[in-house]
């Protein structure tokens, strides 16, 4: 007699449904998903999660396993940094969304595109006087590019802003000396001017045609400027809120820009916390002491992985200079760390397309190197 086994717990196939039996088949094994299918579903689920959010969560999870105190410290540092930068982030998002909703983005691009020399000079000077750090300046840059401001003056502001501000000038002059503070200020303005005019000279290249990455919020500067040149200037509707379509544009723009900038800045601040904890800037700078010919190039390269907060760097570099660190190497290290450190580079990479990102790094490194060489020659 055939071995017939009833299995009421497992779902039956079409023929078994008619007979109510399954002949020698373990229906639990048939119904259970194969491990390969489960892995595929897991991979598909992870693919739908934002990569930046996934990276942030993975770093925190790894820290919780290998160094729980640092996980808490990094989260606290990230939250404090985001809280500090929140007003600038909110202002930049509101500016970008308002410019888009009112139609002012194209008009801004049209007005600023015809006065490159003046706008570059003002941007470089204002950048050197602004209180933004290398990550804090990113939301402002996003708002400017999103509003259609040409890349040249934005780059001038972008490069000069993290290097110096009035409060940092006073502290630097008090701790290291007035000549060093003046040299750092001139380096900020000079690097901004060179970056702006060099970018203006290359503005016609296709690589710089669309500075913003897709999804970074706002229209890119080139498309806004091109639209403004091809079309007659449209009237700006400042009272856009009564218009449902313009309200929708404002909400969509604010949501996209805020989420994009917020998640990338959170990841950048998280990486910054680990660098401060595990790769102290003073440890890196200690290897750059002395006045050897390679001290300035080494200081420029060390500014990439190292991170020294502009204020925290002042007493550290002052002590190293007393121990024999060359003045040019000290200036180069401080400037390169402000412009091209990994947290700053991450924030720039998130915002700008790859050619613009590489151009930013090249301008920062070349400017830091030139500043150090010039200061060493006259110090």
SS (H, E, C) the chain: CCCCECCCCCCCCHHHHHHCCECCCCHHHHHCCCHHHHHHHHHHHHHHCCHHHHHHHHHHHHHHHHCHHHHHHHHHHHHHHHHHHHHHHHHHHHHHHHHHHHCHHHHHHHHHHCCHHHHHHHHHHHHHHCCCCCCCHHHHHHHHHHCCCCHHHHHHHHHHCCCCCHHHHHHHHHHCCHHHHHHHHHHHHHHHHHHHHHHHHCCCCHHHCCCECCCCCCCCHHHHHHHHHHCCCCCCCCCCCCCHHHHHHHHHHHHHHHHHHHHHHHHHHHHHHHHHHHCCHHHHHHCCCCCCCCHHHHHHHHCCCCCCCCCCHHHHHHHHHHCCCCHHHHHHHHHHHHHHCHHHHHHHHHHECHHHHHHHHHHHHHHHHHHHHHHHHHC
What distances in angstroms separate CA 222 from CA 27, 113, 129, 250, 252, one per listed residue?
62, 10, 27, 21, 21
Q: What is the pLDDT of residues 294-332, one digit of tens each?
A: 778 888 877 666 555 566 677 777 877 776 778 888 898
Residue 233 has what pLDDT? Answer: 53
Rounded distance between C-alpha atoms, residue 56 and residue 336, angstroms: 26
Average pLDDT over residues 251-255: 85
Question: Is 71 a residue whose pLDDT tops 90?
Answer: yes
Q: Which residue has the tokens 């491990």?
A: 35
Question: Is 179 a residue whose pLDDT tops 90?
Answer: yes
Contact, 191 vs 335, CB < 8 A? yes
Contact, 82 vs 76, CB < 8 A? no
Contact, 104 vs 96, CB < 8 A? no
Residue 291 has what pLDDT? Answer: 57
Question: Is 19 a residue whose pLDDT tops 50?
Answer: no
Contact, 266 vs 97, CB < 8 A? no
pLDDT band at 218 (very low <50, low <70, confident <90, very high): very low
Residue 32 has what pLDDT? Answer: 47
Q: Which residues make Cβ contacts (< 8 Å) with residue 170, sequence separation at least 6?
A: 181
Q: State the CB neighbour count (10 A cutoff) for residue 115.
A: 13
This prediction has a pTM of: 0.65
Residue 192 has what pLDDT? Answer: 94
Of residues 239 and 15, more confidently modeled: 239
Rounded distance between C-alpha atoms, residue 331 and residue 180, angstroms: 8
Residue 341 has what pLDDT? Answer: 73
What distances in angstroms separate CA 218 from CA 8, 240, 289, one per listed residue?
59, 17, 45
Average per-residue pLDDT for the chain: 76
Rounded distance between C-alpha atoms, residue 193 and residue 163, angstroms: 13
Instruction: Work out whether the CA dihedral 26, 27, 30, 33 comes out positive or negative.
Output: negative
Q: Which of 34-38, 218-222, 276-280 has the lowest mean pLDDT?
A: 218-222
Average pLDDT over residues 335-357: 82
Of residues 27 and 129, more confidently modeled: 129
Highest mean pLDDT among 228-232, 251-255, 347-351: 251-255
Of residues 11 and 304, more confidently modeled: 304
Q: What is the dihedral of CA 49, 51, 56, 58, to 10 degrees?
A: 70
Question: Is 376 a residue whose pLDDT tops 80?
Answer: yes
Rounded distance between C-alpha atoms, residue 214 and residue 16, angstroms: 54
Above pLDDT 90, what percent of the chain? 18
Rounded distance between C-alpha atoms, residue 127 and residue 133, angstroms: 10
Average pLDDT over residues 209-233: 53
Q: Which residue has the tokens 């024999």?
A: 324
């Amino acid at each position: 007699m055939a071995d017939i086994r009833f299995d009421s717990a497992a779902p039956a196939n079409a023929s078994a449904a008619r007979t109510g039996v399954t002949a020698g088949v373990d229906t639990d094994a048939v119904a259970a998903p194969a491990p390969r299918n489960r892995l595929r579903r897991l991979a598909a689920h992870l693919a739908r999660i934002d990569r930046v959010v996934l990276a942030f969560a993975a770093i925190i999870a790894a820290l919780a396993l290998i160094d729980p105190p640092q996980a808490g410290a990094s989260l606290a540092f990230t939250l404090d940094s985001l809280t500090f930068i929140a007003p600038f982030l909110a202002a930049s998002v509101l500016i970008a969304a308002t410019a888009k909703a009112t139609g002012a983005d194209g008009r801004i691009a049209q007005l600023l595109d015809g006065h490159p020399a003046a706008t570059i000079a003002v941007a470089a000077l204002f950048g050197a006087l602004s209180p933004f750090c290398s990550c804090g300046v990113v939301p402002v840059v996003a708002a400017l590019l999103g509003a259609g401001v040409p890349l040249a003056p934005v780059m001038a502001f972008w490069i000069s802003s993290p290097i110096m501000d009035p409060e940092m000038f006073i502290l630097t002059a008090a701790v290291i000396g007035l000549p060093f503070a003046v040299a750092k200020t001139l380096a900020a303005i000079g690097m901004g001017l060179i970056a702006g005019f060099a970018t203006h000279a290359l503005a016609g290249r296709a690589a710089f045609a669309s500075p913003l990455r897709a999804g970074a919020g706002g229209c890119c500067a080139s498309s806004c400027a091109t639209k403004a040149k091809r079309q007659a200037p449209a009237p700006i509707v400042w009272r856009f809120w009564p218009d449902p379509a313009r309200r929708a544009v404002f909400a969509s723009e604010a949501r996209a820009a805020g989420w994009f900038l917020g998640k990338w800045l959170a990841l950048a601040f998280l990486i910054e916390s680990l660098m401060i904890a595990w790769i102290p800037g003073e440890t890196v700078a200690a290897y750059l002491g002395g006045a050897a010919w390679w001290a300035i190039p080494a200081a420029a390269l060390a500014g990439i992985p190292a991170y020294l907060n502009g204020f925290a760097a002042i007493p550290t570099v002052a002590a190293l200079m007393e121990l024999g660190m060359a003045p040019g190497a000290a200036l180069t290290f401080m400037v390169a760390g402000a412009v091209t450190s990994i947290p700053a580079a991450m924030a720039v990479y998130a915002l700008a397309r790859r050619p613009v990102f590489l151009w930013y790094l090249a301008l920062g490194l070349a400017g830091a190197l030139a500043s150090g060489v010039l200061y060493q020659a006259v110090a």
